[in-house]
Amino acid sequence: MDKLYIHEVGPRDGLQAEKTTVPLEEKIRWIEGLFASGVDIIQLGSFVNPEKVPQMADTDALFRHFAARKPAHVTLSGLVLNEKGLERGLACGVEMFCMGVSASETHSQKNTGMTPAEAQARIIPMAKQALAAGKKVQASVQSAFGCGFEGPIPAAKVLDIVKAYLDAGIRNISLADTAGHAQPAQVEDLYGEIRRLDPQVELACHFHNTYGLGLANCYAALKSGVTYFESAFGGLGGCPFTKLPAGNVSTEDLVHTFQRMGLRKDIRLDVLLDVARQVSAFFGRELPGFILKSGSIVDFQGKSD
């Protein structure tokens, strides 16, 4: 099996809907903990209008702070929605640009103010510009497994967006379960269809735990050849522009699951748990992650008891 990449999105997706603004210094402390854990990619923030998402107002400052301070093994990613965001990201040190199109008309309008077709017409030239600048690009299909407003999303709509990405030379494709509607058989089917389009494609997944199937869907994705897994510390987060925002798959739960399967033993689960405890203490509430509450049954070398 190819290496599995853990893409920690807590500093972005985990925090974007929180009403209590996290000070820059606190974010820096949490991110330094994530560096020490051994995760591969950290999404520091999104380049959005700070009036709409105040929690992301310091995204540029975070990238500038860490541009010369990050370990070599970590890639810094950032989410962009438009050309202005791409321009900001190129100026402050983003290494991996994440951008996407929603397969849901309603979610697309609420999230970006554009239809899926309008968003795609802008995203693909942006992706090409980032690739030409020597940056990594991950293109996603949001609401790929269903929409809280519209219900089921036809697989053909998702695959049409994926085909446009592949035709544009984008080879890292993520499916995002924005509303948490995915179920394992559906996950295997949809990723199987993408692999038939391009057997060499790099596949990524982003599941929300709205209905309790997040880890089951991650396992289905793993079986389907997905190698990039997005998750958030403590299971925090959720899209503020979907009908029922709910947390992401917890990074500690995901890593714990992989380590019980003999995978990614190099990641320091104890360090991840410490970061999640810091986040929980800051917000003054219990976070959704299970291992944060129950404790681990693997030791620090990833061995099961």
pTM for the full model? 0.94
Contacts of 240 (CB under 8 A, 6+ apart): 16, 17, 53
pLDDT tens per residue, range 168-191: 999 999 999 988 999 999 999 999
Question: Sorting pLDDT into bands at 50, 70 and 90, what band is 289?
Answer: very high
- The mean per-residue pLDDT over the stretch 262-267 comes to 96
Task: Tell me the average pLDDT across 133-143.
Answer: 96
Give the closest residue to 297 by CA, choosing from 263, 266, 251, 253.
Answer: 253
Q: Catalytic residue numbers?
A: 239
> Residue 165 — very low, low, confident or very high, per pLDDT cuts 50/70/90?
very high
Nearest to 175 by CA among 149, 200, 153: 153
Q: Is the pLDDT of residue 98 over 60?
A: yes
Instruction: Return the minimum-mean-pLDDT range out of 6-10, 119-123, 170-174, 242-246.
Output: 242-246
Mean pLDDT (the chain, rounded) = 92
On whether the CB atoms of residues 188 and 203 are closer than 8 A, the answer is no
Instruction: Provide the pLDDT for residue 115.
Output: 84
What is the structure's pLDDT at 104?
A: 87
Q: What ranges do the domains of the chain cover?
A: 5-294
Q: Which residue intervals of 101-201 are DSSP H helices?
A: 105-112, 116-132, 155-167, 184-197
Mean pLDDT of 202-228: 96
What CATH number should be reported for the domain whose range is 5-294? Answer: 3.20.20.70
Q: Categorize the per-residue pLDDT at 161 as very low, low, confident or very high, splitting at 50, 70 and 90.
A: very high
Q: How confident is the model at residue 80 (pLDDT cuts 50, 70, 90)?
A: very high
Residue 5 has pLDDT above 60, yes or no: yes
Is residue 31 a contact partner of residue 66, using CB atoms and an 8 Å limit? yes
Rounded to the nearest angstrom, the gap between the alpha carbon of residue 156 and the centroid of all alpha carbons in its chain is 23
pLDDT for the residue 298 = 79
Q: Which residues of 186-216 are buried (b: 16+ CB within 10 A; e: fewer)?
A: bbbebbeebeeeeeebbbbbbbbbbeebbbe
Say yes or no to pLDDT of 302 above 50. yes
Give per-residue pLDDT as tens, 19-37.
899 999 999 999 999 999 9
The pLDDT of residue 279: 97
Long-range CB contact pairs, 182-185, < 8 A, 24+? 182/144, 182/145, 182/146, 182/207, 182/213, 182/217, 183/145, 183/213, 183/216, 183/217, 184/213, 184/216, 184/217, 184/219, 184/220, 185/220
- Residue 89, pLDDT > 90, answer yes
Q: What is the pLDDT of residue 149?
A: 81
Q: Which residues pair with 97 in a beta bridge?
A: 78, 137
What was the pLDDT predicted at 245? 52
Rounded mean pLDDT, 75-93: 96
When pLDDT is cut at 50, 70 and 90, the band that residue 305 belongs to is low
Q: Quick one: what percent of the chain has pLDDT higher than 70?
A: 94
